[in-house]
Structure 1
Amino acid sequence: MSDTTHDGEITVTMRPPADNGLSPAQLAAKYGLSVSGARPGLPEYIRQLWGRRHFIVAFSQAKLTAQYSKAKLGQLWQVVTPLLNALVYYLVFGLILGTKEGIPNDVFVPFLVTGVFVFTFTQSSVMSGVRAISGNLGLVRALHFPRASLPISFALQQLQQLLFSMIVLLVIVMAFGSFPSLSWLLVIPALVLQFFFNMGLALIMARMGSKTPDLAQLMPFIMRTWMYASGVMFSIPIMLEGKPSWIADVLQANPAAVYMDLIRFALIDGYGANNLPAHVWLLAVGWALLFGVLGFVYFWKAEERYGRG
Structure 2
Amino acid sequence: MSAPPSSVDEGLAPGDLAAKYGLSVSGARPGLFEYIRELWSRRHFILAFSSAKLTAQYSQAKLGQVWQVATPLLNALVYYLIFGLILDAGRGMSKEVYIPFLVTGIFVFTFTQSSVMAGVRAISGNLGLVRALHFPRATLPISFSLQQLQQLLFSLVVLAAVAIAFGSYPSLSWLLLIPALFLQFVFNVGLAMIMARMGSKTPDLAQLMPFVMRTWMYASGVMFSIPVMLADKPAWIADVLMYNPAAVYMDLVRFALIDGYGASNLPAHVWATALGWALVFGIGGFVYFWKAEERYGRG
TM-score range, shorter chain: over 0.9
Aligned mate of 1:234, from 224, 228, 235: 224
Work out whether 1:256 is the aligned partner of 2:246: yes
- In the alignment, which residue of structure 2 is the partner of 1:102? 92
Structure 2: which amino acid aligns with 1:81?
T
Q: Distance in 1 between matches of 2:120 and 2:10?
A: 48
| Deviation readout 1:254-282 (Å, 9 max, x if unpaired) | 00000000000000000000000010000
Is the partner of 2:7 in helix, strand or coil? coil
Q: Distance in 2 between matches of 1:86 and 1:102?
A: 19
Work out whether 1:303 is the aligned partner of 2:290: no
Q: Distance in 2 between matches of 1:191 and 1:31?
A: 50
Q: Distance in 1 between matches of 2:255 and 2:226?
A: 15
Q: Name segments (4+ residues, structure 1) moved above 3 Å.
A: none
With the length of structure 2 as denominator, give the TM-score of the two structures: 0.98
When the two chains are superposed, the root-mean-square deviation of aligned CA atoms in Å is 0.7
Work out whether 1:205 is the aligned partner of 2:213: no
- Higher mean alpha-carbon deviation, 148-157 vs 16-25, is at 16-25
Structure 1: which amino acid aligns with 2:209?
M
- In the alignment, which residue of structure 1 is the partner of 2:61? 71
Aligned mate of 1:283, from 243, 253, 273: 273
Work out whether 1:268 is the aligned partner of 2:267: no
Cα deviation, residue 104, structure 1: 1.2
Aligned mate of 2:38, from 36, 45, 48: 48
- In the alignment, which residue of structure 2 is the partner of 1:130? 120
Superposition map of 1:18-33 within 5 A? 18-33=8-23
Is the partner of 1:241 in helix, strand or coil? coil
Structure 2: which amino acid aligns with 1:77?
W
Work out whether 1:191 is the aligned partner of 2:220: no
| Deviation readout 1:70-93 (Å, 9 max, x if unpaired) | 000000000000000000000011
- In the alignment, which residue of structure 1 is the partner of 2:161? 171
Structure 2: which amino acid aligns with 1:219?
M
Q: Distance in 2 between matches of 1:123 and 1:50?
A: 26
Is the partner of 1:103 in helix, strand or coil? coil
Q: How many pairs are equivalent?
A: 294
Aligned mate of 2:70, from 80, 83, 88: 80
Is the partner of 1:82 in helix, strand or coil? helix
Q: Distance in 2 between matches of 1:67 and 1:181?
A: 34
Q: Percent identity?
A: 80
- In the alignment, which residue of structure 1 is the partner of 2:207? 217
Q: Distance in 2 between matches of 1:64 and 1:148?
A: 18
Q: Distance in 2 between matches of 1:305 and 1:20?
A: 31
Q: Distance in 1 between matches of 2:92 and 2:261?
A: 12
Q: Distance in 1 between matches of 2:143 and 2:232?
A: 44
Structure 1: which amino acid aligns with 2:194?
I
- Higher mean alpha-carbon deviation, 94-103 vs 295-304, is at 94-103
| Deviation readout 1:122-168 (Å, 9 max, x if unpaired) | 00000000000000000000000000000000000000000000000
Q: Which has the larger radius of gyration?
A: 1
Cα deviation, residue 214, structure 1: 0.2
Is the partner of 1:232 in helix, strand or coil? coil
Q: Distance in 1 between matches of 2:191 and 2:222?
A: 19
| Deviation readout 1:57-115 (Å, 9 max, x if unpaired) | 00000000000000000000000000000000000111111101111111000000000
- Structure 2, unmatched stretches of 5+, are 1-5
Cα deviation, residue 18, structure 1: 2.5
Work out whether 1:34 is the aligned partner of 2:24: yes
Q: Distance in 1 between matches of 2:249 and 2:9?
A: 61
Q: Distance in 2 between matches of 1:122 and 1:61?
A: 18
Aligned mate of 1:146, from 136, 145, 148: 136
Cα deviation, residue 17, structure 1: 3.0
